[in-house]
Chains A and B, each alone.
Chain A
Amino acid sequence: MSQFVSGFWDIYIALITVMSIVACAVFLKSQSSTKLPSSETTGHAWDEDLAEYNNPLPGWWRWLFYITIVFALVYLVLYPGLGSWSGVLGWTQVGQLREETLQAESQYGPIYEKFARVEIKDLAKNTAALAIGQKLFLNNCAQCHASDGGGSRGFPSLTDRDWLWGGDPKEIRTSIAEGRNGVMPPWGQVLGEQGVKDVTHYVMSLSGTAADSIRVAKGREAYATYCVACHGAEGKGNAALGAPNLTDGIWLHGSGEALISETIARGRSSQMPAHKELLAPAKIHVLTAYVYSLSAPPD
């Protein structure tokens, strides 16, 4: 704040604070005695004969008030609260967060440390690591990939062995830490309406879906010109580019003629966000093992 306002306001606030405290003390002192009739009652009468006994507060009660004043003064010396005074303890919110983070790291660090030394393929069989991995997955991944890792339209399933960017532990780790950008360019302008239909039928035929054989033949030529660079001559895809395999019946953006032609005509753009800023390397290690375990061969 101090870069926006002048130092005057710090002093202004501090003065109000101190004056309020002093005023409380003065008020307390002034209210410790008063003039009353010497009788048992306060001397007031309501509704003709309703009198009020004089029941003074216990003496220690007053000291509680004074203690709050002392507490306030001690607090304002120790902690920030009086204008720009930062307190003799040097406490800050950020400092407390840092301290608690350090404490948590020293508490949980050794657990992750132990896992970090284990190879992913072995860690994927460690039930303790998987239990932690599952929690990490539910907190960070399940929103898109679903609680079971099965994904949903536009978000790949992690439970099959069809990997867009490669299913080695190393590749999985890179996907989590660095994120991925999957881009399918739109071909509607280039291919024209009929061209898109032809390619759609050819792509459908690749995974054995029933398709119009004339369109398949026309589409094959267009595929060889425009699609082969990423999806490969056989339509097996390319993990280096994140280009999906078109022959396996697994459809990231939906199967059926309508959805496939939409994908071809308008393109698709998917993003896996990078998590290296959010999760410590050891956590990513455990998470990688968990994701690997979802489709790991049972050997």
Chain B
Amino acid sequence: MNDVAGELVEQSLYEVRRKIYPRAVRGWFAAWRWTLVWATQIAYYGGAWLTWNDRQAVLFDIAHRKFFIFGLVFWPQDIIYLTVLLVIAAFSLFLFTAIAGRLWCGYACPQTVYTEIFMWIERRIEGDRHARMKLDQQRFSSRRLFLKGAKHAAWIALALWTGFTFVGYVTPIRELWPEVLALSTGPWETFWILFYGFATYGNAGWMREQVCKYMCPYARFQSAMFDQDTMIITYDRGRGEPRGARSRKENYKGKNLGDCVDCGICVQVCPTGIDIRKGLQYECIGCAACVDGCDQVMDKMGYPRGLIRYSTAHAMEKALTHREMLARALRPRVLIYLCILLAIVAAAAFSLWSRVPLKVDVIRDRAAIVREVEGGLIENVYRLQIMNTTEQARAFEVSVSGLPTLHVQGEATVGMPAAASRMIPVKVRIETSSAAPGTHPIEFTVRTIGVEGVSVHEKSVFIVK
């Protein structure tokens, strides 16, 4: 390591935050983002109010350890599906990132979505970039107080509604609503409404790009997921440089200028405040606001669109056509991600479709191993934890197999209410002459009475002494 000679100056190790005033932008990609804002938020705010089977359609009932998602009921034993969901989410992220960079960040991430909504509110109240900058430079005035107050009130109202909806997925929202109106929510409900609301308000209103730059790990490992054929927001340096201002009618090529008019729109619209013309930076969340902004300017100037566009490092280097660039999207890396993803999705879908709404655990009594009972029979005792995961009351029949004369002693049927779990002790008997002393594998079968095909087999052991 060499120290490069240079004048040393006392500098802060912490940066003073420069406030970003993103300028509003319209265009193809902004429309896509708003489509996703609407889709995700209608699903989020509206989903909690849907009903299904006389209950909330989507409810994560942590208190009773049951998750309801439309027709599906998940019990703690179904935790594997959460794992599968996370694996699917991870592979989707790999796939989309390999193809076109930070699509998630730019269009669907809650941080982006809520920032977009909060910025829209800000724009409606304080005006666009220029008006907001002017307002912030003003001295204290009643107008400024009014505008800022209105903005924060609107933000807080939306944030609280977001927190309320969040808790509404855990506590039935139709019961929560009157409690909120009467200010009689429980301590945890109150905490989570306020906490989630505060997080929304703080992250989307105040922190914004700081979350993406310093808190989110994604920016830091994106370079591991990109390659030369990943489509990223790219400034076409060859076409744009040398940049410079010019009049619309001027023959700029004669003046040896590129297509970039150096208007700075791409910087003004950027929500993280970077200049995309410097190339790919970790701050770039791939929102394509600069693409939309630049395209508008190109249209006005009468130049072709796409000075800033989705392109790949390869396409830039080798001057590939759009079609050639897209063809390279189907490279081994992408195909492997796609195959794994499809396989996991198919397996998960099949598993959910063929899921038996009945769970059984067999626990052998540990201390009372074996006993002789009247009539020269040998008896073992088991606890069967039977879980009826349907939303109807059911009756089950317990049987056992694996050895001659092996049978369940006494009542072999058990009734159970909807979505309930019950432990029943089961005595299993055998004639002494039917099995040699030692341990024998056996199998319990629990069958739903009156419903074809809903049965579970569980292995256990029978001990003869």
Contact = CB atoms under 8 A, between A and B. Distances in A.
Given A58-B210, A150-B371, A32 B13 contact: yes
A189 B10 CA distance: 98
Nearest to A35: B8
Contacts of B366: 143
Contact of A37 (B9, B15, B17, B425): B9
A57 interface: yes
B79 interface: no
B368 interface: yes
Given A58-B214, A144-B368, A255-B372, A32 B14 contact: yes
B73 to A, nearest CB: 22
B235 interface: no
Main secondary structure of the interface of A (DSSP, over half): mixed
B8 A146 contact: no
Interface in B85-106: none
A96 interface: no
Contacts of B11: 33-36, 54, 56
Contact of A34 (B10, B369, B372): B10
A43 B4 contact: yes
Interface string B174-200: 000000000000000000000000000
B1 interface: yes
Contacts of A148: 381, 425-427
8 closest Cβ pairs, A-B complex: A152-B368, A37-B6, A146-B368, A148-B425, A147-B425, A56-B15, A35-B8, A36-B11
A33 B12 contact: yes
A79 interface: no
Contacts of B324: none
Interface in A1-60: 31-39, 41, 43-46, 51, 54, 56-60
Contact of A150 (B3, B9, B379, B423): B379
A37 B381 contact: no
Interface string B11-23: 1111111000000
Contacts of A208: none
A59 B9 contact: no
A37 B383 CA distance: 74
Interface residues of B, number: 36
Interface string A167-196: 000000000000000000000000000000
A155 interface: yes
Contacts of B426: 148
Given A138-B423, A142-B365, A152-B371, A56 B9 contact: no
Contacts of A31: 13
Interface string A57-68: 111111000000
Interface size class of A (residues with CB under 8 A): 35 or more
A144 B4 CA distance: 79
Nearest to B367: A143
A249 interface: yes
B12, B17, B368, B374: most-surrounded residue (chain A CB, <10 A)? B368
A145 interface: yes
Contacts of A138: 383, 423
A35 B16 CA distance: 17
B15 A152 contact: no
B367 A60 contact: no
Contact of A59 (B16, B367, B371): B16
A134 B422 CA distance: 11
Given A37-B7, A57-B15, A144-B368, 16 more contacts: A32-B13, A34-B10, A38-B6, A43-B8, A51-B4, A56-B15, A59-B15, A61-B14, A62-B14, A143-B366, A144-B367, A147-B365, A148-B426, A153-B371, A155-B368, A254-B372
